[in-house]
Amino acid sequence: MRDRYGDVAVTRLEGNVVQCEIQRGPNNFFDHQLIKDLADCFEDIDADADARVILLCSEGKHFCGGANLGEPESAAELNTRTPEKRNPLYVEAVRLFRCKTPLVAAVQGAAVGGGFGLAVMADFRVVCPNTRMTANFVKLGFTPGFGLTHTLPRLIGIQKAMLLFLTGRRINGETAADWGLGDIYTDNDKVRPAALALATEIAANAPLAVTSLREQMRPGIADAVQAATDIEGREQLWLQQTKDYKEGVKAVGEKRPGKFIGE
């Protein structure tokens, strides 16, 4: 296990906890490379017997602001993708779900779109008053990804997941905790310490039993997420080529409602 994987800094903490900090502050936008680096890191942690729990956190104001809309996917890259070819981003995302080490996420500020998917991927989320979670894909003119169509209903039920998906609504940390998206609700300045306390509590237990129980509680989750992202990727591909998608990206960038025409 290295001390850095691209923009992910790795630190061994006391109590067999390994901290993985995304260092792209203040917004910590994600892309294919960041998710690949996280997946490489998690696989190496899985192979380390002294690493029992991962604490996933981010520097700066936000946990993960999603994809950087200021750097949209190039037309050339879109043209290389087909409905039969899996989105490379989701290939890496599925690797995260195959991680065998329990994962606690400290979620301050925004967790948006794919960044929301990254937070939901964790076993537990620690949230606070300034936490803001949104699956705002429909406001951009396309549909959820990162396996959210599988993972979010599993956490909060189909009705609440549909409410978030179809409205693109943003919820705060208190609502996230009420709905079961946040497992611990704490003060803004205590998110990481609270996440570390939970990670340490888990790591103090028999590691083989913890790993076995986690597998029993999440049977086939990686394969289910792969199946979900195969569908999500195909739907996103054609929607990203519509006029509504172009308008949605522009509207979100300009912080205004989109003027959608169904084309």
> Residue 163's domain is classified under what CATH number?
3.90.226.10
Strand runs (DSSP E) across 135-250, as ranges? 170-172, 184-185
CA distances in angstroms from 209 to 97, 101, 202, 204, 215, listed in the order given: 19, 12, 11, 11, 10
- Judge whether 74 lies within some domain: yes
- Judge whether 174 lies within some domain: yes
CA-closest candidate to residue 2, choices 52, 53, 27, 37: 37
- Judge whether 117 lies within some domain: yes
The two three-digit tokens of residue 181, written as one number: 């998206």
> In Å, how far from its chain's centre is CA 135?
11
Question: What strands lie across the sheet with 184-185, from one edge to the other?
Answer: 4-5, 8-13, 17-22, 53-58, 103-106, 124-127, 184-185
- Judge whether 41 lies within some domain: yes
- What 3-state DSSP class applies to 245? helix
Question: 126-140, pLDDT tens digit by residue?
Answer: 999 999 999 999 999
> In Å, how far from its chain's centre is CA 201?
23
Q: What is the pLDDT of residue 259?
A: 96
Q: Which residue has the tokens 């700066």?
A: 60
* Domain encompassing residue 57: 4-188
- Judge whether 77 lies within some domain: yes
Q: What is the pLDDT of residue 145?
A: 96
- Judge whether 231 lies within some domain: no
Burial class (CB in 10 A: 0-12, 13-18, 19+), 34: buried
Task: Count up the domains in the chain and report the number.
Answer: 1
Q: Are 87 and 233 in contact (CB under 8 A)?
A: yes
Q: Are 195 and 57 in contact (CB under 8 A)?
A: yes
Write out residues in the chain with pLDDT < 50, as ranges.
74-76, 78-79
- Judge whether 16 lies within some domain: yes
The two three-digit tokens of residue 209, written as one number: 């039993």
- Judge whether 216 lies within some domain: no
